[in-house]
Amino acid sequence: MNDSVPIPTLPSPFRLIATLGGIAMLSGLLVVMAYEVTAPHIARNRREALQAAVFEVLPGATVRSNFFIDASGMLPLPDEDLARANLFAGFDDDGRLIGYAIEGAARGYQDIVRVLFGYDPNREIVIGFTVLESTETPGLGDRIGVDPAFLANFTALDVSLTDDATALRNPVETVKQGEKTEPWQIDGISGATISSVAVGNGIRDSATRLLPLIRQHAGGSN
Amino acid sequence: MQPDSLSFIFLNAFLINNFVLSMFLGLCPFLGVSGKISTAWNMGLAVIFVMFVSSTCAYGINALLVRFNLEFLRLICYIAVIASAVQLVEMAIKKISPALFRTLGIFLPLITTNCAILGLALFQTFRDYSFVQCLAFSAGAGGGFTLALLLMAGLREKLDLADVPDVSMGAALSLMLAGLLSLAFMGFAGLGG
Amino acid sequence: MPPPARPAAPMNWETFTQGLWKENPVFVMLLGLCPAMAVTNTAMNALAMGVATTFVLVCSGLLVSLLRNIIPKQVRIASYIIIIATFVTITDYAIQAISLDLYNALGAFIQLIVVNCVILGRAEAYASKHPVFNSLVNALGMGVGFTFALLCLGGVREILGSGTFFGVMLFGERFQPWSVFVLPPGGFFVLAFWLVLFSTVRRARERREKEAAHAA
């Protein structure tokens, strides 16, 4: 608007700072307002998404509780502290423990694949599985989340612990399609080998790390 | 390879999920400055430097914001710091190498509003990288950006001699080339898996 | 300093339609390409991104226009960026509150709206020089144009790449999806195709106009 004026008079530095400060205040106010309004909805959405995933991998579960587990023990967490939880227990209507939902992550074809799987401590098997996050190739790698034959691997996948309960007796491994012979093997998807292997690795790593802790702190197997 | 190992983070940002060719970050400079290899190289260097600076700043700010529970101010703070970082690099280049400044002069402001720089800061926050992981990530992202820019510039220099249909001259042609490059880069997926 | 007096800005249909076709941000001005390709692998994502961007465009245009006589020239860019970042943050929270699935699909690209050149470009080139209502209408036009461009990209990519449109199956079970179109290279190819189409149409129209002028 002042293109024709060669040197515009410089407003006082005070005015510049006051303007920027005023705008920053206004913006802070708006953001805080938006945050306050949306925070409860966001928390509820996150809770519901997690709840749905946990109930999916623990068939029959209707009640969920959150835990943080490490070498020092198993700490129950309220829903407000969901971000810290690394273990979710699922119970049925009668309050019987169905199992634990555990997250796993491994490097897939395109990027990291994050999965959630259900663990039944009494039978020492994986009873359910779902993909939380993946950017695997559509039509090929992303079949790990939908392929019925592949999902059937996770109805009774053997993850039993050694007698001293420090490691898996037979580490989970992914084999080529149709070559599954042992209960701890995952029948891969042909055309999505790397993605299938990633799922197996994710489950194996988390199971190796967390199952001995669960046995130690929660009792579990009889 | 572990999903959070440094080599994987670097490789992932450098080739597999190249910022330009598979995440579409930083397309403006990619299309604008890829006419000549020499300019592309200078631009790439500037981007790598700004990425290191802004990644370091973003890590610091995020640690501070999380400490005081002010995560909702993250975006505004990132933008402010990255803009200042670019100003800094602009002044530094002007002082150190006036020749380089003349070549890059008009493109440096472009980096300020470059999604690649802000994207780097946001992705490292979302993925909870540690400080060393952030450095590996920015090295990979900056290197990958420069690689894509150089490849593109090489192709376009050759293309000057080619006879292409009139309507597809300019941006459309560059985009098709970028698409072919992107197809080629898809071959890197699965690397190290 | 108060802006010098100028003739009242003309407010007409052109203010709105400018962004739709003649200055379409994506197809003609090649701005905001980053979100235009990154999130347009489905029509739904494209629509969400377009609406989010329109919201930020309109709100920031409104505020910039309201404050246009207060903000000194020297700090205007900094002020605009703060204003835009504010509305982007608000949009980010709003989308998280509306649908987490949508938020996960768009990822960091919602926050990257802040560096979309369309928005800063509008604030600087239009909203800072025009009255509130004009700015509002112009921003809305630009937003609709941007959304339209995103839908063009997202629609084609989803139909070819997954055989669906807004999640509705189009070709039946036997369709073999052309997956490359939902992958990054497809984004480049589809945009290149639209650019060629646009420039062909524009040239044909220019030629017709020239011939009409010649005949007259």
pLDDT tens over chain C, length 216 residues: 444 444 445 566 777 777 777 778 888 878 888 888 888 888 999 999 999 999 999 999 999 999 988 888 878 888 898 899 999 999 999 999 998 888 888 888 899 898 888 888 888 888 888 899 889 998 999 999 999 999 999 999 999 988 888 888 888 777 888 888 888 899 999 999 998 888 888 888 888 988 888 887
In the predicted structure, residue A1 carries a pLDDT above the cut 50: no
Are B72 and A111 inside 8 Å of each other by CB? no
CA angle A189, A190, A195 (to 5 degrees): 55
In three-state secondary structure terms, A161 is: strand
Chain B residues touching residue A110 (CB < 8 angstroms): 16-17, 189
Residue the block writes with tokens 């703060």: C82
Asked if the interface predicted TM-score (ipTM) of this complex is over 0.95, the answer is no
Residue B110 pLDDT class (50, 70, 90 cuts): low
CA distance B139 to B13: 8
Per-residue model confidence (pLDDT) at position C164: 85
In the predicted structure, residue B27 carries a pLDDT above the cut 90: no
A180 vs B138: which has the higher pLDDT? B138
Run of H or E including C168 = strand C168-169
Residue A2 pLDDT class (50, 70, 90 cuts): very low
Segment of A5-19, B70-84, B105-119, C2-16 carrying the highest mean pLDDT = B70-84
Q: What is the mean pLDDT of chain B?
A: 84
The pLDDT tens digits for A78-107 are: 877 777 888 899 999 888 889 999 988 888
Per-residue model confidence (pLDDT) at position C7: 44
Chains that touch A (3 or more CB pairs under 8 A): B, C
Reported pTM? 0.85
Are A110 and B8 inside 8 Å of each other by CB? no
Please give the single-letter amino acid code of residue C203: R
CA distance C124 to C137: 16
Residue the block writes with tokens 């194996």: A204
Residue B62 pLDDT class (50, 70, 90 cuts): very high
Average pLDDT estimate for A13-36:
89
Interface of C with B in 109-138 (CB under 8 A): 111-112, 114-117, 120
Are C37 and B176 inside 8 Å of each other by CB? no
Note whether A25 contacts C: Cβ–Cβ < 8 A: no
Note whether C93 contacts B: Cβ–Cβ < 8 A: yes
Segment of B21-35, B124-138, C14-28 carrying the highest mean pLDDT = B124-138
Contacts of A30 (CB under 8 A, 6+ apart): C86, C87, C90
The pLDDT tens digits for A95-139 are: 888 999 998 888 888 778 889 999 998 888 999 899 988 877 777
Using alpha carbons, select from B69, B77, B60 the residue that is nearest to residue B118.
B77
Strand ranges, E, within A96-216? 97-107, 112-120, 125-133, 157-158, 173-175, 185-187
Note whether A111 contacts B: Cβ–Cβ < 8 A: yes
Per-residue model confidence (pLDDT) at position C140: 92
Chain C residues touching residue B123 (CB < 8 angstroms): 108
| Contact between B115 and B26 (Cβ < 8 Å) | yes
Q: Token pair for residue A124? A: 């020492």
Using alpha carbons, select from A105, A131, A133, A102 the residue that is nearest to residue A118.
A102
Chains that touch B (3 or more CB pairs under 8 A): A, C
Average pLDDT estimate for B20-36:
83
Using alpha carbons, select from B142, B26, B125 the residue that is nearest to residue B77.
B125
Are B23 and C184 inside 8 Å of each other by CB? yes
Instruction: Out of B23, B126, B176, name the one closest to residue C188 (CB).
Output: B176
Per-residue model confidence (pLDDT) at position C2: 43
Domain definitions of chain A by residue range: 46-218
Name the minimum distance, in Å, from the CA of B191 to any CA of chain A.
Answer: 8
What is the separation of C-alpha B105 from the centre of its chain, rounded to a whole number of angstroms?
18
Per-residue model confidence (pLDDT) at position C62: 93
Name the minimum distance, in Å, from the CA of C24 to any CA of chain A.
Answer: 25
Interface of A with C in 137-176 (CB under 8 A): 137-140
In the predicted structure, residue A6 carries a pLDDT above the cut 70: no
Query: Residue A172 CB: number of other CB atoms within 10 A?
Result: 24
| Contact between B176 and B159 (Cβ < 8 Å) | no
Residue B71 pLDDT class (50, 70, 90 cuts): confident
Per-residue model confidence (pLDDT) at position A221: 39
Segment of A18-32, B129-143, C35-49 carrying the highest mean pLDDT = B129-143
